[in-house]
Amino acid sequence: MAMAGAAAGGGKRRRRGRRGAPINEINMTPFIDVVLVLLIVFMVAAPMMTVGVPLDLPQSKASPLNSDTKPVTLSIRQTGQVFLENDELTDDTIIPRLTETAKSGFEERVFVRGDKRVDYGRVAQVMAIVTGGGFKKVALVTEPDQR
């Protein structure tokens, strides 16, 4: 009788292959999750990577300068306000703040970013203050010409 029950399908069937055998497929779900999280992180962080005050810089055909060190950057808004990084400065505080920020002393490169709508006399005035304070490497920053 025991044989009749097994032959009729009442017993357990044996599986083909071993239980717990390794799967030969790559599970892409964790990889895709990580990539999407990184994408979101970079999309949120990218706008925060811009340094300084937002300006509309003039364009020129001058080639970019290659440099290993990050220069000190002064920004001049359309209204004539001067900023060192994100801190607003008066004309009297430009040189003291530059000297405490400059790591190389008076040999530090100073970039002046002037909005293209700011009065040219104001840009020249700020550059005269910086060079009059003893800084020798002062340059204007422009955007590359898009034409």
Q: What is the pLDDT of residues 40-62, one digit of tens each?
A: 998 888 776 665 666 666 666 66
pLDDT at 21: 74
pLDDT at 34: 94
Tokens 């717990």 identify what position? 20
pLDDT at 14: 55
Write down the pTM of the prediction. 0.54
Residues of the chain with pLDDT under 50: 1
Which residues 6+ apart lie within 8 Å of 122 measured at CB?
Answer: 76, 80, 114
pLDDT at 39: 92
CATH code that applies to domain 59-144: 3.30.420.270
Among 51, 76, 87, 90, residue whose Cα is nearest residue 138: 76
| Pairwise CA distance, residues 126 & 80, whole Å | 10
Q: Where are the domains of the chain?
A: 59-144
pLDDT at 35: 94
* Amino acid, res. 132: G
| Pairwise CA distance, residues 121 & 78, whole Å | 12
pLDDT at 108: 83
pLDDT at 33: 93
Give bridge partners of residue 83 from the DSSP assignment: 75, 88
If one counts every other C-beta atom within 10 angstroms of the C-beta of residue 133, the result is: 15
